Amino acid sequence: MWSTIKHKLITLLQFILVIIYIVFEEIIWEGISKPIYEFLHSLKILRRVETMLHMVNAYVILMIFVVLLAFVEFLGIYAGILFVQGKVWHGLTLYITKIPIAAFTFWVFRITEDKLMQFGWFKWLYSLMIAAVEWVKSKAVYISMIKKIKIVKKEIKDIMKIFKERYFSKERAFSIKIKKLYKVIKESMDKK
């Protein structure tokens, strides 16, 4: 009996970890943070910052990264506290505010990874985190959920494609009406 309960608890824990990972990976990272990260990476001003960061001492880089990471995690924890207190909109706003900061922190990590990995303890923690992620990804529940998510994503894309073709193709009456309305509004704004 104890082994059955233990097995069910372990399965539940795996399921919870997989759900958390999928939410962060598929929704927050892929949908929000990755585009912000790619935008930041493309900015010319940050290329100068990147060059400066390569010239900075590894201890200073570590301090900058740890402060940024601690700040991002604090915002996430505080957003969670606001959610639990029933202040959903405040928590959601704070969490959304945290996302660009987290993307910037990830950018700093990627740019300075070689310097951060000079610290043995940091390298050990990072490899431990990567091993945990790989462990979650190896679980059957993760593989099954990812397959289902891919199917749902494809279905949503197909629906959006049909919607765009139906209402926003160049020949459709709806699209023509929207364009005419836009033209009228623009002309009236230009007159003012």
Identify the residue with better confidence: 148 or 66: 66
Same structural domain, 111 and 190 = no
Q: How far apart are CA 79 and CA 91, in angstroms?
A: 4
Same structural domain, 160 and 79 = no
pLDDT digit string, tens, across residues 163-176: 777 766 666 666 66
Same structural domain, 130 and 160 = no
Buried b / exposed e over 82-116, threshold 16 CB at 10 Å, is bbeeeeeeebeebbeebbeebbbbbbbeebbeebb
Cβ–Cβ < 8 Å for 89, 96: no
pLDDT at 27 over 70: no
Same structural domain, 17 and 73 = yes
pLDDT band at 142 (very low <50, low <70, confident <90, very high): confident
pLDDT at 15 over 90: no
Same structural domain, 151 and 115 = no
Position 147 scores a pLDDT of 83
Same structural domain, 87 and 46 = yes
Identify the residue with better confidence: 77 or 142: 77
Task: State what percent of residues in the chain have pLDDT above 70.
Answer: 74
Same structural domain, 120 and 148 = no
pLDDT digit string, tens, across residues 110-129: 889 999 999 999 999 999 98
Please report, for the chain, how many H helices and E strands are present, in that order: 8, 0
Same structural domain, 123 and 144 = no
pLDDT band at 26 (very low <50, low <70, confident <90, very high): low
* CA-wise closest residue to 37 among 108, 112, 95: 108
Longest CA span, the chain:
80
pLDDT band at 36 (very low <50, low <70, confident <90, very high): low
The mean pLDDT of 140-164, rounded to a whole number, is 79
pLDDT digit string, tens, across residues 81-110: 888 888 889 988 888 888 888 888 888 888
Same structural domain, 75 and 21 = yes
Position 4 scores a pLDDT of 73
Same structural domain, 122 and 187 = no
Position 46 scores a pLDDT of 74
Same structural domain, 25 and 116 = yes
| Cβ count near 65 (within 10 Å) | 20
Listed residues 138, 167, 184: the one ending a domain: 138
Listed residues 119, 138, 157: the one ending a domain: 138
Parent domain of 181: 140-192
Identify the residue with better confidence: 18 or 147: 147
What are the tokens at 57? 């001492």
Domain count, the chain: 2
Same structural domain, 93 and 156 = no
The mean pLDDT of 145-157, rounded to a whole number, is 79
CA 142 to chain centre: 18
